Structure 1
Amino acid sequence: MTPPNPPPTSSELIVSSPAEHVLLLTFNRPKQLNAMTPQMSADLRAVLNWFEDEPSLWVVILTGAGRVFCAGADLKAWNNDQQSGITNEQEDVVANVYGFGSVSRRQSKKPILAAVTGGAYGGGMEIVLNCDYVVAGNDAKFALPEVKRGVIAIQGGIPRLSQIAGHHLASEMLLLGRTVSAADAQGRYGFVNRIVPASEVVKTAVEVALEIVGNSPEAVQATKRGLVLSQEHGHSQMLLSHVWGEECKSVYKGNNIKEGLKAFGEKRAPRWTNPAKL
């Protein structure tokens, strides 16, 4: 299924819609283990910015073609830049407001799901950490090996892993550059929600997306905003920012709240409509 009027992209990103209201983005450099290029990052930025503003799309799933979700940055290209002395890494990090692949620091108002097969390394792992729900294949591996290459997980991986796993477990991955299994990512570190056979990863992610789509889109987006604010502020400040924000206004002044409450009284499933643009 083709989503409604997506922006043009290169062959490095496949854009599709496996179900109503659901967008599926597939990193498409399988021979290079989906290592991120400037082109793929630009494609992701254009499509995700469009997704944010498209009322008919409520959830996005990220996955990778081939045997690895995303191997991170293209280190060969990075090495060439370093050896030539033309890099401006610090300026590039600050200028790239959405982070690695236009995902790792993106504060989306809509849920982002990751469907991970094979592995997520470096920047690919930073993308996973900024997703709201992670489905991993039982063969998946995860690592932030930046220190082993003389660099830093600077695109959002450090604060996100620390928030999720706590200081000491985050230090274990970040300072040792250690690779962990899907089982440890779920049970010990806490950033994987479900583990399934590799062949069922995308299918399972779509099922989770459809479960989210079964809820009011305004309520989901306002709740997502509350989660983001909770990471930034204390409880009192978060509450005030959230309750007076545009997302909550959309919930309480929109049509879907009326439909949800009416459907409950009538003992039927609600029929949600696309939310108004904020």
Structure 2
Amino acid sequence: MTAGTTDTTVTEEQDPVLTEVVDGVLVVTINRPGARNAINTVTAEAIGAAMDRLDSDPTLVSGIITGAGSTFCAGMDLKAFLAGEKPSIPGRGFAGIVEGPPSKPLIAAVEGYALAGGFEIALACDMIVAADDVKFGLPEVKRGLVAAGGGLMRLPQRVPYHLAMEWALTGAMITAQQAHEVFLVNRLTPRGGALAGALELGRAIAANGPLAVRATKQVIVEAPEWSRDEMFDRQRDITVPVRGSEDAREGATAFKEKRAPRWQGR
């Protein structure tokens, strides 16, 4: 990447996760291409730290997670697992993300393969941009295992029930085209173009009011758990503070003055 502010680049052995800020978007890259970006303990900790940064930094509005090299993520690092490592952290779970995704929008930029835990990382994101030759899958049943990183819970929320059952019970490879046809993937790109496509989407989100973006995600994520009687009251709890914010006034003023808004995040 050429735009934005980049953290100091180091070797894979020194830092398995790299971060870069591009126009209000935090790009998080799993940097273990020699291990197909599989997740070990230090990688999970680094991803979790990046998610904490995304949540806490008021200058960041959205995030992207991607993989270095030709693949997104092959899931858990089996060698590390056999050595006694745990590829998860308290509070955020596997890969530092599946049990505690960030409160701000997160996009998966997928190249190559997103299998097992790698697919579960993508499913923990709010949007997916994928190269048109990508393969997704939860192949755990083929090895007598169960996908326990949120995939079995999230997949039926993303695609029709019977399709989720078929994919999970057969452990089938899912093409990017299949995933796009059922709206699991937001956008398809040519090979090598997933990150650029995700940045286009991330920038479009980051151009909007940061308080409004965060609240909008919160309502969409939490609303399915609200009862009919409480849903508008619960929504008001989230949206009324945004409506009374300085950013809301700035948005209306900018519209009136026919200029781009200058968000302050307050």
TM-score between both structures, scaled by the size of structure 1: 0.86
Following TM superposition, by how much is the alpha carbon of 1:105 offset from its aligned partner in structure 2, in angstroms? 2.4
Structure-1 separation of matches of 2:224 and 2:16: 32
% of aligned pairs identical?
Answer: 37
- Which residue matches 2:216? 223
**Within-5 A mapping of 1:156-235:** 156-188=150-182, 190-235=183-228
Letter in 2 for 1:23: L
Structure-1 separation of matches of 2:49 and 2:30: 14
Structure-1 separation of matches of 2:49 and 2:41: 12
Match of 2:192, SS?
Answer: helix
Relative distance call for 1:53 and 1:80 in structure 2 (3 A) is closer
Structure-1 separation of matches of 2:147 and 2:231: 27
Per-residue Cα deviation, 1:188-243 (whole angstroms, up to 9, x for no partner): 3x210000012221111111111111111111110000011024334443432232
Structure-2 separation of matches of 1:202 and 1:208: 10
- Which residue matches 2:254? 263
Paired residues, number: 259
- Which residue matches 1:84? none
Q: Decide whether the 8 Å contact of 1:229 with 1:238 is kept in 2.
A: no
Give 5+ residue unaligned stretches, structure 1: 82-86
Asked if 1:20 is matched to 2:23, the reply is: yes
Structure-2 separation of matches of 1:108 and 1:29: 22
Asked if 1:76 is matched to 2:106, the reply is: no
Letter in 1 for 2:245: G
Structure-1 separation of matches of 2:107 and 2:245: 26
- Which residue matches 1:138? 132
Per-residue Cα deviation, 1:80-100 (whole angstroms, up to 9, x for no partner): 55xxxxx9x9xx98x743232
Alignment counterpart, residue 244 of structure 1, candidates 233, 237, 243: 237
Give 5+ residue unaligned stretches, structure 2: none
Alignment counterpart, residue 97 of structure 1, candidates 91, 107, 110: 91
Match of 1:102, SS?
Answer: coil
Letter in 1 for 2:148: I
Structure-2 separation of matches of 1:236 and 1:208: 35
Per-residue Cα deviation, 1:76-119 (whole angstroms, up to 9, x for no partner): 333455xxxxx9x9xx98x7432321112224221101100001
Query: Going by fraction, where is helix more abundant, 1 or 2?
Result: 1
Alignment counterpart, residue 117 of structure 2, candidates 109, 123, 127: 123
